[in-house]
């Protein structure tokens, strides 16, 4: 059963019209799993969403002229002020349902690219709209709502340098 089918099953009849966009093809997004080693311990940078304030990783839609890894890095910059090295290959993927308004949502698959943080800027495009905080992989996994992302965070091992 897909995520969209599960949600439709759980919704009452008055809410089913909201799921009409879920029948469209699943949309693709790219995310950055921003990490660093601090005193020998791995840490993952999380940000809050603009609408609900829940903890997420930076992500967004494909951008013309940019590779998926470059899109992930651009989102990390805009949403969290991150500069660093992005892996060429994704760590994995997860699915979620993106609300596009009060009565519309679409299913999304998110490819996640590890990004080794080299610098956190004090000023960045979405600074006043989000919070950012470092977590251990286990605590980061407990903060997110998506089970596949939680597994990815909990078991994350940074790729070798140059990967």
User: What CATH number is given to the structural domain containing 115?
Assistant: 3.90.79.10
Report the chain's mean pLDDT, rounded to a whole number.
88
pTM value > 0.75: yes
Tell me whether residue 162 is in a domain: no
Q: Please compute Rg for the chain using Cα positions.
A: 16
| 33-85 per-position pLDDT tens digit | 999 999 999 999 999 999 889 999 999 999 999 999 999 999 999 999 999 99
Residue corresponding to tokens 């995520």? 3
Instruction: Identify the pLDDT of residue 13.
Output: 39
Tell me whether residue 112 is in a domain: yes
Tell me whether residue 58 is in a domain: yes
Tell me whether residue 163 is in a domain: no
Tell me whether residue 21 is in a domain: yes
**Structural domains of the chain, count:** 1
Cβ burial of 104 (10 Å; 0-12, 13-18, 19+) is middle
Tell me whether residue 17 is in a domain: yes
Tell me whether residue 43 is in a domain: yes
| Contact present, 70 and 77 (Cβ < 8 Å) | no
Give the pLDDT band (50/70/90) at residue 1: very low
- C-alpha 46/C-alpha 42 separation (Å) is 13
- C-alpha 77/C-alpha 72 separation (Å) is 9
For residue 41, what are the domain limits? 3-154
């Amino acid at each position: 059963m897909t995520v969209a089918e599960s949600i439709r099953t759980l919704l009452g009849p008055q809410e089913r019209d909201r799921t009409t966009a879920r029948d469209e093809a699943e949309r693709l997004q790219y995310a950055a799993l921003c990490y660093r080693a601090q005193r020998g311990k791995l840490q993952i940078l999380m940000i809050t969403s603009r609408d609900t304030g829940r903890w997420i990783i930076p992500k967004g839609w494909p951008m013309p002229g940019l590779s998926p890894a470059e899109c992930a890095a651009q989102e990390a910059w805009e949403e969290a002020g991150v500069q660093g090295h992005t892996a060429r290959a994704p760590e994995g993927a997860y699915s979620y349902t993106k609300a596009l308004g009060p009565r519309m949502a679409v299913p999304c698959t998110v490819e996640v690219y590890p990004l080794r943080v080299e610098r956190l800027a004090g000023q960045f495009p979405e600074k006043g709209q989000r919070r950012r905080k470092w977590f251990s992989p286990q605590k980061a996994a407990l903060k997110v709502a998506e089970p596949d992302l939680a597994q990815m965070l909990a078991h994350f091992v940074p790729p070798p340098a140059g990967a």
